[in-house]
Chain A
Amino acid sequence: MSTEDVLKSKFPDDALTFSQFRDNHRVVVPAAKLQAIFNCLKSDLGFDMLSEVTAVDYLEYEGATDRFGVVYVFINIATGERLVLKTFVNDPQPTLPSAYSLWKSADWLEREVFDMFGITFTGHPDLRRILTPDEFTAHPLRKDYPLKGRGERHNFPIVTRADS
Chain B
Amino acid sequence: MPFEVSDLAEMDAPEKEYLWTLNFGPQHPATHTTLRLVLTLDGETVVNAVPHIGYLHSGFEKLGEHLDFNQYVTIVDRMNYISPLANEIAWHHAVEKLLGIEITPRCKYLRTILAELMRLHDHLLNVGTTGLDLGAFTAFLYAFYQREKIYDIVESASGQRFHTSYTRVGGVMFDVNNAWVDKIRDFLKGFMPVHAEVHRLLTRNRIFIDRIKGVGYLSPEDAISMGVTGPLARASGVLRDLRKDEPYLAYPDLDFKVVASKDGDCYGRYLVRMQEMLESVKIIEQCLENIPAGPVNIDAETHIVPPAKPSVYRSIEGLIQHFEVMMPNRGYTTPREEIYAATESPNGELGYYIVGDGTPRAYRARTRPPSYIHFAVFPHIIKGHQLSDVVAVLGSLNIIAAELDR
Which residue numbers of A lie inside 8 Å of B, CB to CB?
Answer: 21-24, 26, 48-52, 54, 56-57, 60-62, 71, 73, 75, 77, 80, 82, 84, 86, 103-105, 107-109, 112, 116, 125-126, 129-133, 140-141, 145, 147
Contact = CB atoms under 8 A, between A and B. Distances in A.
A71 to B, nearest CB: 6
Given A49-B224, A80-B246, A56 B339 contact: no
B364 interface: yes
Contacts of B246: 23, 80, 82
Identify which of B353, B358, B375, B405 gathers the most chain A CB atoms within 10 Å of its CB. B353
A147 B353 contact: no
Given A48-B225, A109-B373, A126-B2, 20 more contacts: A21-B337, A24-B339, A52-B353, A54-B368, A56-B363, A56-B364, A57-B364, A73-B340, A77-B224, A77-B238, A82-B340, A86-B338, A104-B227, A105-B373, A107-B2, A108-B376, A112-B372, A116-B61, A125-B1, A129-B54
Contacts of A73: 340, 351, 353, 368
Contact of B53 (A103, A107, A131, A147): A131
B145 interface: no
Interface string B349-380: 10101010110000110101000110110000
A48 B224 contact: yes
14 contacts: A22-B100, A22-B341, A49-B224, A52-B351, A57-B364, A62-B336, A62-B358, A82-B246, A84-B340, A105-B226, A116-B61, A140-B62, A147-B62, A147-B66
B227 A105 contact: yes
A80 B245 contact: yes
Contacts of B63: 147
A107 B1 contact: yes
A104 B228 CA distance: 10
A104 B66 contact: no
Contacts of A109: 227, 373
Interface string B142-173: 00000000000000000000000000000000
B57 interface: yes
Identify which of A61, A107, A132 gathers the most chain B CB atoms within 10 Å of its CB. A107
Identify which of A71, A104, A129 gathers the most chain B CB atoms within 10 Å of its CB. A104
A58 B159 CA distance: 39
Given A48-B225, A105-B227, A130-B54, A54 B353 contact: yes
A3 B4 CA distance: 34
B102 to A, nearest CB: 11
Contacts of B363: 56, 60-61
B355 A56 contact: yes
A105 to B, nearest CB: 3
B29 interface: no
Contact of A104 (B62, B222, B245, B355): B222
Contacts of A22: 97-98, 100, 339, 341
B174 to A, nearest CB: 28
B196 interface: no
Identify which of B1, B3, B62 gathers the most chain A CB atoms within 10 Å of its CB. B62
Interface residues of B, number: 49
A133 B54 contact: yes
The 7 closest A-B pairs by CB, nearest first: A105-B227, A131-B54, A108-B376, A131-B57, A54-B366, A104-B225, A80-B245
Nearest to B373: A105
A51 B351 contact: yes
Nearest to B355: A56
Contacts of A86: 338
A164 B158 CA distance: 48
B54 A62 contact: no
Contacts of B373: 105, 108-109
B59 to A, nearest CB: 6
A50 B53 contact: no
Identify which of A77, A131, A141 gathers the most chain B CB atoms within 10 Å of its CB. A131
Given A77-B238, A80-B246, A105 B376 contact: yes
Contacts of B273: none
Nearest to A115: B54
A101 to B, nearest CB: 11
A52 B357 contact: no
Given A49-B224, A131-B53, A132-B57, A104 B100 contact: no
Nearest to B221: A48
Contacts of A48: 224-225
A2 B225 CA distance: 23
Contacts of A62: 336, 357-358
Contact of B376 (A61, A77, A107, A129): A107
A21 B99 CA distance: 11
Contact of A21 (B227, B238, B339, B376): B339
Contacts of B222: 104
A52 B405 contact: no
B327 interface: no
Given A21-B338, A50-B227, A108-B372, A130 B53 contact: yes
Nearest to A100: B1
